[in-house]
Amino acid sequence: KIYVLRYGHRPGRDKRVTTHVALVARAFGADGFILGDVADESVKESIEKVSEIWGGRIHFEMGVDSQKYCREWKRNGGLVVHLTMYGLHVDSVIDEVRRLGRDILVVVGSRKVPGFFYEVADYNVAIGHQPHSEVAALAVFLDRLFTGRELYLRFPDAKVEIVPSPRGKKVRRLGAGVE
C-alpha cells in the first residue's frame, strides 16, 4: 500500500494546497492520506465530498504524530520516501523503490521540514533539483512509480464518470438508484 503523509500543514493558509495534495494522492493511486500533527475538518470534508461523487475513497487520518507515524511505518516493514529537492534524482532511485515492492509512506512538507525526516527516510527523492510544489512533486513521483498507469484508474464506487469529449462536459451516471 502507498500512503501520503503531509507534514507541516498550517490550517490558516495551507487548506487549498493540502487539499490538492490529498486529491492528487487519491487520483494518482495512493491508498491513504495522513494529515500530520494537526486536524483540519475542511480538508477532510473536501476529500470526502470528492470521493462521495467520484468514488475512490482512500484511508484518511489527521492529527497523528508525524514522527511516530514514520517510525511505526518502518517498524511494520514499510519504506519511507521523503520528497525533497535536496534528495537523489527520482530517475536514479525509482526503479529500485518499485522493485522492492514494499509499502511506501511518501512524505511531503509545506515550508521547512525538520532534519528528522531526512534521517528517517529510506530515500530522500528529488523531483528535479529546483524548488517547486508538494502537489507537483507528489504527482510526478506517483506517476513515475506507477509508470503512468494511474491515469487510467477507474473507481468502482463512483456515482459518475466522465465521457471524454473533445469539447464540453459529458458525464455518465453510474450505479443503481442514481437517476
Please state the residue numbers annotated as binding site for S-adenosyl-L-methionine: 83
Q: Is 36 in contact with 66 (CB distance < 8 Å)?
A: yes
Of 22, 34, 43, 83, the residue at the interface with ligand SAM (CB under 6 A) is: 83
Tell me: does residue 126 bind ligand SAM (CB under 6 A): yes
CA distance 82 to 125: 6
H helices present in 9-112, as ranges: 15-27, 41-54, 66-75, 90-100
Tell me: does residue 84 bind ligand SAM (CB under 6 A): yes
Task: Compute the residue count for the chain.
Answer: 179
Question: Roughly what angle, to the nearest 10 degrees, separates helices 90-100 and 134-145?
Answer: 50
Q: Which of residues 13-32 bind ligand SAM (CB under 6 A)?
A: none
H helices present in 101-147, as ranges: 115-120, 134-145
Tell me: does residue 127 bind ligand SAM (CB under 6 A): yes
Q: Residue with CB nearest ligand SAM?
A: 109
In whole angstroms, how close is the CB of 158 to ligand SAM at the nearest point? 29
Tell me: does residue 115 bind ligand SAM (CB under 6 A): no
Q: What residues make contact with ligand SAM under the rule CB under 6 A? A: 83-85, 108-113, 126-128, 130-134, 137
